[in-house]
Amino acid sequence: MAKRALTAAAVGRIKPPKVGQIEYFDRGYPGLALRVSYGGGKSFVFFYRHRGRLRRITLGTYPALSLGDAREAWRTARQEVAQGRDPSGGHEKPPTLFADVVEDWLRRDQAKNKSVYQSTRIIRKDVLPVWGHRQVTDLTRRDVLDLIDGVADRGAPIMARRVHAYVHRFFRWCVGRGIIETNPATDVPKPGASNKRDRVLTDAELKVVWRGAENMEGLHSAVIRLLVLTGARLQEIAQLRWSEIVGDTIKLDGDRTKNAEPRTIPLSKAALELLKQVPRIAGSEFVFTLSGKRPISGWDAAKKRLAEFAPIAPWVIHDFRRTIATGMQKQGVGLQVVESILGHLSGSRAGVVGIYQRHTYDAEKRAALEAWGAHVASLVKAVR
């Protein structure tokens, strides 16, 4: 609990914490505190006891409520407490400041999802700066449209669709918790069309990307090259744990795969050599980490940086999987083996066939990935 004599200038200067929230109690005003959330939202709250129970009410959000006004509201509320009345009206209302509620949503609804890192990153980058200081109960359909349009208008239609999805789920959760009556994102159209991609990098482009990643250096560089060698999904490699590397194989549990099915990824000689070069932080479970506490992030920035080193036609990281599948088929690898490498349960492994055909193709996958690794090595070793 932080306690200090608050001033109007100090309230404006206080920086948000990296995670969670912190309360600065105003010295000389018992129970009055400035609550600062990691998204930048600030609100004045009053802690008091009524009938032996500790309670809290939100007096208002800053800067709509100034420090002087907050102290006046504190005096009024404290007088009611002294007279035996509950200033909250007899019950403690749930917090409705967006910065507070969305933190609760991330903890309760998203923490166990495989996409928790993505949802947290998107909320912090694109939503909190806009809504962090707002009350959830005040947000309308117009606010949702403005938020999503703002992301789309900066030339990021795919990110706008992701924001749409997470915002819709957040409000649906709020309805279920009784925080709001209706979901303002209901029937809000998704921005743009979800384009079906068919981008396949040529051998020449793959060489440029590989060399660009080498020149870029760093952990993002290593992840990108390992994606080229394995055909795995980005988060499967970016969030890789040392415990998941068993000998010359990556073994993922169902909670780490998109289809919730365990899968194995044989590591070629090229992939193993790349992993040997990754620095290991003592005590950290993550392979690719800067802090030791969480896997690396910042993939939008990393992709833009890579584009500077690898100037080819527009592409996305997920195109690696399509490129690898196409390249392996050219090498004569069977469709079922390719789908097993990619971790697909559709196509040739769907329906009744998938139920009765349980062959893992481990040997075939290893041979195919070894051949693919040798192909990539021959490309990057070729004379420039």
Which fold does the domain 98-176 belong to in CATH?
A: DNA polymerase; domain 1 (1.10.150)
12-19: list long-range contacts, CB under 8 Å, 24+ apart: 12/63, 14/42, 16/40, 16/41
pLDDT band at 248; cut points 50, 70, 90: very high
DSSP 130-164: HHTTSBGGG--HHHHHHHHHHHHHTT-HHHHHHHH
pLDDT band at 271; cut points 50, 70, 90: very high
pLDDT of residue 145: 92
Q: What is the dihedral of CA 49, 51, 56, 57, to 10 degrees?
A: -110
The one-letter amino acid at 305: R
Which fold does the domain 2-82 belong to in CATH?
A: Double Stranded RNA Binding Domain (3.30.160)
Specify which residues 24 forms β-bridges with: 2, 34
- Give the separation between CA 272 and CA 288, rounded to whole angstroms: 15
pLDDT of residue 370: 96
pLDDT of residue 51: 78
pLDDT of residue 94: 58
Half-sphere exposure (CA, 13 Å, Cβ side) for 243?
5
Strands, E assignment, 5-76: 21-26, 32-37, 42-50, 53-62
Global pTM reads: 0.55
More confident residue, 226 or 4: 226
From the number of C-beta atoms within 10 Å of its C-beta (0-12, 13-18, 19+), residue 148 rates as: buried
- Give the separation between CA 26 and CA 24, rounded to whole angstroms: 6
- Give the separation between CA 352 and CA 358, rounded to whole angstroms: 11
pLDDT of residue 258: 77
Strands, E assignment, the chain: 2-4, 21-26, 32-37, 42-50, 53-62, 245-246, 249-252, 263-266
pLDDT of residue 226: 96
What average pLDDT does the structure give for the chain? 86
| pLDDT, mean of residues 287-296 | 91
pLDDT tens track for 297-307: 888 888 888 98
- Give the separation between CA 41 and CA 63, rounded to whole angstroms: 10
pLDDT band at 350; cut points 50, 70, 90: very low
Residue 165 has pLDDT above 80, yes or no: yes
Residue 244 has pLDDT above 70, yes or no: yes
pLDDT of residue 356: 41
pLDDT of residue 348: 46
Strand arrangement, sheet containing 263-266: 245-246, 249-252, 263-266
Which fold does the domain 203-381 belong to in CATH?
A: hpI Integrase; Chain A (1.10.443)
* Residue 215 CB partners (closer than 8 Å, separation 6+): 309
The backbone torsions φ and ψ at residue 281, rounded to the nearest 5 degrees and listed phi first, read -90, 120
pLDDT of residue 382: 62
Residue 4 has pLDDT above 90, yes or no: no
Per the CB < 8 A criterion, the answer to whether 338 and 314 are in contact is no
pLDDT of residue 276: 93
pLDDT band at 284; cut points 50, 70, 90: very high
pLDDT tens track for 228-237: 999 999 989 9
pLDDT tens track for 44-65: 999 998 877 888 888 888 888 8
Domain ranges of the chain: 2-82, 98-176, 203-381
More confident residue, 156 or 213: 213
pLDDT of residue 209: 94
pLDDT of residue 246: 95
pLDDT of residue 38: 73
